[in-house]
Amino acid sequence: MTVTDIDAIPDFARADLAGSGKRVRLRDLYHDDFGADLYDDIGFSNTSEVFEILSAIKGHPGPVLELAAGSGRVTVPMVAGGRDVTAVDLSDTMLTLLRRRLDAAPRLRGTARLVQGDMATHAEPEKSVAAAVIATTSISLLTDDARRGMWRNLFGQLLSGGVLVVSTVELDAEHAGGDAIARTRAEGAGGRHVRMIESWPAAATERVVVMYDEDQLTGPGDTVEVCVTRIGVVPADVVTAELAEVGFTIRRTRVVTTPDGRHRYLVIEAVTP
Ligand SMILES: C[S@@+](CC[C@H](N)C(=O)[O-])C[C@H]1O[C@@H](n2cnc3c(N)ncnc32)[C@H](O)[C@@H]1O
Question: 263 pLDDT band (50/70/90 cuts)?
Answer: confident
- Same domain membership, residue 177 and residue 167: no
> In this structure, is residue 203 part of a structural domain?
yes
Domain that holds residue 181: 3-32+172-232
Q: What is the pLDDT of residues 146-171, one digit of tens each?
A: 999 999 999 999 999 999 999 999 88
- Same domain membership, residue 21 and residue 139: no
> In this structure, is residue 94 part of a structural domain?
yes
pLDDT score, position 203: 81
Ligand 1 centre distance from Cα of residue 21 (Å)? 33
pLDDT score, position 236: 95
Sequential DSSP letters for the chain? --EE-GGGS-HHHHHHHHTT--EEEEE-TTTSHHHHHHHHHHHTT--TTHHHHHHHHTT--S-EEEES-TTSTTHHHHHHTT--EEEEES-HHHHHHHHHHHHHSTTTTT-SEEEE--TTT--PPTT-EEEEEE-TTGGGGS-HHHHHHHHHHHHHHEEEEEEEEEEEEEE-HHHHTS-SEEEEEEE-TTS-EEEEEEE--TT-SEEEEEEEEHHHHHSSSSEEEEEEEEEE---HHHHHHHHHHHT-EEEEEEEEE-TTSSEEEEEEEEE--
In angstroms, rounded to a whole number, what is the distance separating the alpha carbons of residues 209 and 6? 16
Percent of the chain with pLDDT strictly greater than 90: 77
Which residue's CA is minimally distant from atom 19 of ligand 1?
118
Query: H or E stretch including 187?
Result: strand 181-187
The model carries a pTM of: 0.94
Which of 65, 71, 89, 121 gets mutated to test ligand 1 (max ligand atoms within 8 A of its CB)?
Answer: 89
- Same domain membership, residue 85 and residue 60: yes
- Same domain membership, residue 106 and residue 50: yes
Ligand 1 centre distance from Cα of residue 32 (Å)? 13
Percent of the chain with pLDDT strictly greater than 70: 96
- Same domain membership, residue 259 and residue 162: yes
| Mean pLDDT score across all residues of the chain | 92
- Same domain membership, residue 155 and residue 123: yes
Average pLDDT over residues 257-269: 85
CA distances from 239 to 89, 93, 121, 212, 242 (A): 21, 29, 18, 31, 5
> In this structure, is residue 37 part of a structural domain?
no
- Same domain membership, residue 116 and residue 209: no
Ligand 1 centre distance from Cα of residue 219 (Å)? 30
pLDDT score, position 46: 86
- Same domain membership, residue 57 and residue 161: yes
Which of 88, 138, 165 gets mutated to test ligand 1 (max ligand atoms within 8 A of its CB)?
Answer: 138
Q: Is 145 helix (H, G, I), strand (E, B) or coil?
A: helix
Site residues for ligand 1, CB cut-off 6 Å: 30, 43, 68-70, 73-74, 88-91, 94, 118-120, 135-136, 138, 141-142
- Same domain membership, residue 67 and residue 52: yes
Contact, 199 vs 219, CB < 8 A? no
Question: 242 pLDDT band (50/70/90 cuts)?
Answer: very high
- Same domain membership, residue 202 and residue 167: no
Which residue's CA is minimally distant from atom 27 of ligand 1?
70
> In this structure, is residue 38 part of a structural domain?
no
> In this structure, is residue 97 part of a structural domain?
yes
In angstroms, rounded to a whole number, what is the distance separating the alpha carbons of residues 23 and 180? 27
- Same domain membership, residue 179 and residue 53: no
Which has the closest alpha carbon to 166: 248, 81, 47?
248
Which of 30, 47, 51 gets mutated to test ligand 1 (max ligand atoms within 8 A of its CB)?
Answer: 30
Ligand 1 centre distance from Cα of residue 88 (Å)? 9
Query: Is pLDDT above 70 for 204?
Result: yes
What total of structural domains would you count in the chain? 2
pLDDT score, position 155: 98
Q: What is the pLDDT of residues 31-45, one digit of tens each?
A: 999 999 999 998 888
Q: What is the pLDDT of residues 57-115, one digit of tens each?
A: 999 999 999 999 999 999 999 999 999 999 999 999 999 999 999 999 999 999 999 99
Question: 2 pLDDT band (50/70/90 cuts)?
Answer: very low
Instruction: For residue 57, give the CATH number of its domain.
Output: 3.40.50.150
Which residue's CA is minimally distant from atom 6 of ligand 1?
69
Ligand 1 centre distance from Cα of residue 221 (Å)? 30
Which residue's CA is minimally distant from atom 13 of ligand 1?
68
